[in-house]
Structures are given as C-alpha cells and as structure tokens.
Amino acid sequence: MQDLLALPFFEARHADWAAEVEAWATANADRLTDHHDADGSARALARAMGEAGLLRAAVPADGALDVRALCLARDILARHSGLADFAFAMQGLGTGAITLFGGDALRAAALPGVRAGTTLAAFALSEPEAGSDVAALATTATRDGEDSWRITGEKTWISNGGIAGSYVVFARTGEAPGARGLTAFWVPGDAPGLSVAERIEVTAPHPLARLRFEGVRVPDAHRIGAPGDGFKVAMATLDVFRATVGAAALGFARRAHGLLVGRAAARRLFGAPLFDQQMTQAAIADSAVDVEAAALLVYRAAWLKDQGVARVSREASMAKLFATEAAQRVADRCVQLHGGLGVVRDSAPETLYREVRALRVYEGASEIQRIVIARAERERASQEAIARAESERASQEAIARAERERASQEAIARAERDRASQEAIARAERERASQDGIARAEGDRA
C-alpha cells in the first residue's frame, strides 16, 4: 500500500486516511463479521464505522465526495472483510444521489443518521425486468396533489433491502419516453406501503431483497433533482461509485494473492517447496501483474474524477471491468494452488472466490462495461476524426490566407515597381525636356 500511496495520484491526506482505515479494519473488521448473520454484521459494522468517523468519507458533511478516499477505504476493507466493505460502500452508494443532487433540507433530513452508522442506506434502481436496461424501468411515481407523489412497483436485488432506514428510489414519472422520464426520490425505510416481498440468498451472504411499493406516499420535498432527471442522477452516482467496485475487487485480489504466495512458500511438493514449480511461479507472476494493473486503472479513474472531470464513465468502466475480472482470476489461482483445501466451505480461498464473483455482476455487469467502453471508443474516434478535419480545415484556411497574403504582397510589390518605373520615366522625360530647353536656349543665344 505504501508503494501505491507514493504514486502521484495521491496527496498526503490520503496516506493518513489509509492508515486510519487500516488500523480500524485490523482491530474490528474480522471481529464484527459473521457470515452466518449478514444482517447483524451489516448493522454492527456500519455502527462501528460511524462511531469511528470512517463514514465521513462515504457521506461527507460538505457534499464533496473524495473518490480516491472511497477507493482506498474499499481496497483496505475488502482485503479484511467482504461484509465490512459492503457496509461502508452501501452507506455511500445509498446516499450518493442525495449528496450530489439533494437540497440542503433533504441532506439535513437524510444524511446524518447514515453518516453516524445508525441508519443503513440502500440504492433502489434494479427491477425484475429492468436491470442493466434502466430505460425499461416500470415502477411509477404519480402526482398526489400539489406536494406529494405515490410510488407503485417492485425493486429487486436491493442491497440492504429490508434492513435499510433510507432508500433512494427511481421511478417513472413520464416526462419523456425511456430513460428521460425517470425521477429519483428519498423514501424512509418505515414509509407506509413499503414492504419486503422476498429476501434473496446469494453465494456471498449479504442483505439483499426484493421490495414492493404499494402507493407509497412521498413528499415532493423528498424528490432528488428535477422531475425527469432520474437517469442523470443515477448515472452520475454510479460514475462516482463504479470505480470503487474495482477498488473492492482489488482488495479481494490482494488478499488472494497474499494467500497464494504464502501457500506456495509453505507447501512442499515432491520434496521441494511448491513455489519451485514453474507453473506456480507463473500463477504468482500473473496474479501480481493483475493486482498492479488493476490498481493503476482504479486509482486513475478516481484521480480523474477528483480532478473535476465531468464524466469518467469510460475510465471507471475500464477500472471495474479489469479489476473485477482480474480479481476472479487471482481468486481462482488461489483456490487451485490450495488444492482440496481451496474448496472447503468457508475456507479463506473458497470465501474469496464467492465474494469476488458478485462484483462482476452488480453496478453494471462486465458485458455492460464492455459496451460502455466500446461506445466511448467510438465517440473518441469520432471526436478525433472531427478534430483532424477541423485541423485540416484550419490548415487549409491558413494556407489560403498565406496565399492571399503572398498575392497581396506581390501585387503591392508590382505596384511599387510600376510606380518606381513611372517615376523614372517621368524623371527621364523631365531631364530630356530640360536638355531640350538648354539646347534651344543655346541656339537662341548663338
């Protein structure tokens, strides 16, 4: 981590922050994690992080999200505990839209409890028929008088679903077709009409649910952004937090790599350390490259966002795609080199393998990241072609101007030569006339 922090992506405060998170995680992450009680662990971890002040990075009081700090926290926490990373990340993702787009009153109502860790937060975008295809979202929000809305529909795959006290919900309000007709709302977890339709069990246990909204009344004051801006709010939020998913994958990969190297050094095979096998060395080398390359992509995306680049969708997608896929490769090598021990349930390699797998799906599956990247490349190529055409046009215009200037200068030069020639002729005529006059005068005198 110190080698990483020495890179020019970071400032001195980031080293202090990383040390603070590392110290907390070493003392608390494993102690507070119980994979057989994901709900209880999420609550306990969020509360402890809030008490320690770590959630100030995920839910900043000044509204300024430091993406490098978020990535460092997830990198470190994931290396210690997947549930610790989950608890931290959801407090940020579940309130990011409010942090970025909410008014002062809404921030004051929704954020303090989440920052303190006493309220869990959730981001409710996905639906049974609208996951990656946000434009297909079917949950509706209709006007209920002048000052409120009624939300009706279902959301699924909602992390912290059923235990969150704060939800950011996206619903169709109909200002335009498709993605342009969505709006974001803040919905308290105890709102009448909001219920848990199903708790969902997944390979790496964490709180997950399908939610039902049955005419849930939401004051207009809880609207996040303007009506119809929901897609923009969602994408801007994901633009910030997508790189942090790559950071979590990086943390998992670091731990798997450490286990891999340790196993290779400690395990003896055919009378020699497992490390001496060339295939083992290849696995270690490939994993080291995966980890280091993922780190550079993740922290480049975070640095660009912190520099004020408006959209880092391309770079964030690259970071998430590569880091999550690389983490899966490293985890798989870790399982493989542990042999039978690698597939023992709840062993460190097996747990890591399961925890990494979900990262390749949520907040945009790897296939979606590839689409985002490909479209960005097409756009870049188009912009470069336009820039080349503009450069060529400017060059041609400059050449034309130079030609016109040269022609003008030549015309001036010709005119000057003609004028000088006319003056010389005139002088010669005057001289001749003078000589003629002198000759006549001489003749008269004689």
Active site residues: 363
337 touches 45 (CB < 8 A): no
The 3-state secondary structure of the chain reads CHHHHCCCCCCHHHHHHHHHHHHHHHHHCCCCCCCCCHHHHHHHHHHHHHHHCHHHCCCCCCCCCCHHHHHHHHHHHHHHCHHHHHHHHHHHHCCHHHHHHCCHHHHHHHHHHHHHCCCCEEEECCECCECCCHHHCCCEEEECCCCEEEEEEEEEEEECCCCCCEEEEEEECCCCCHHHHEEEEEEECCCCCEEEEEECCCCCCCCEEEEEEEEEEEEHHHEECCCCCHHHHHHHHHHHHHHHHHHHHHHHHHHHHHHHHHHHHHCEECCEEHHHCHHHHHHHHHHHHHHHHHHHHHHHHHHHHHCCCCCCHHHHHHHHHHHHHHHHHHHHHHHHHHHHHHHCCCCHHHHHHHHHHHHCCCCCCHHHHHHHHHHHHHHHHHHHHHHHHHHHHHHHHHHHHHHHHHHHHHHHHHHHHHHHHHHHHHHHHHHHHHHHHHHHHHHHHC
